[in-house]
Amino acid sequence: MAIQILLIVAVILGVVFTLRALRGEKQLAIKRLAALAFALLAIVSILFPGLISKIANFLGVGRGTDLLLYLFIIAAVLFGGAVIRAKARSDARVTKLARAMALSEANKRYQSK
């Protein structure tokens, strides 16, 4: 029972910190709904671990822990892809800014001569 309370508190704190970090992001509503859905599913799986096993058996997976592992792997791959896309967008913005600054500096030097 104590571990369940600790896990539920950890999930709630994690979601609160995640939602606070999402301020000002694009597609905020979708990300908030996903975080809340994750929290709800996590709390249900903590309170009713047998339910996860039943869902796993229904889906043809041997154990509930295996199902959670598979879902975690899928989530990790999706997260990795999102991070790579975000870094590529950030790199493109930095490159565009560096080019604009270089052109601006060149223009200033040309006009001062």
Give the distance, in angstroms, between the CA of residue 86 and the centroid of all CA atoms in the same chain.
11
Helix axes 49-59, 28-47, angle to 10 degrees: 110
Is 23 a residue whose pLDDT tops 80? Answer: no
Q: What are phi and psi of 27, to 5 degrees?
A: 55, 40
For residue 92, pLDDT over 90 is answered with yes
CB 56 within 8 A of CB 66: yes
Residue 28, pLDDT > 80, answer no
Is the pLDDT score of 32 beyond 70?
Answer: yes
pLDDT at 24 over 80: no
DSSP H helix total and E strand total for the chain? 4, 0
Region 39-58 average pLDDT: 91
So what's the pLDDT on residue 99? Answer: 96
Using 50, 70 and 90 to split pLDDT, how confident is the model at 108? confident
Q: State the Cα–Cα distance between residues 52 and 35, nearest whole angstrom.
A: 19
The model carries a pTM of 0.68
Domain locations in the chain?
Answer: 1-47, 63-113
- Average pLDDT for the chain: 88
pLDDT band at 27 (very low <50, low <70, confident <90, very high): low
**pLDDT tens by residue, 64-82:** 889 989 988 998 999 899 8
